[in-house]
Amino acid sequence: MEESYNFVGMGHESSPKRRRLAVVVYLLSAFVYLGFGLEVLGIVLTDKSLHPLLKPHRFFFVVELSTLALTLVSPGLALGAFTMVPAAAREMTSTTGRILVWVIVILGFLVSLAEAMWTCSGHPTWIQGYPGL
pLDDT tens per residue across span 121-133: 877 788 888 886 4
| Whether 105 contacts 29, CB under 8 Å | yes
Average pLDDT over residues 28-49: 93
The pTM of this model reads 0.81
pLDDT mean over 51-76: 90
* 22 bridge partner residues: none
Three-class DSSP category at 60: helix
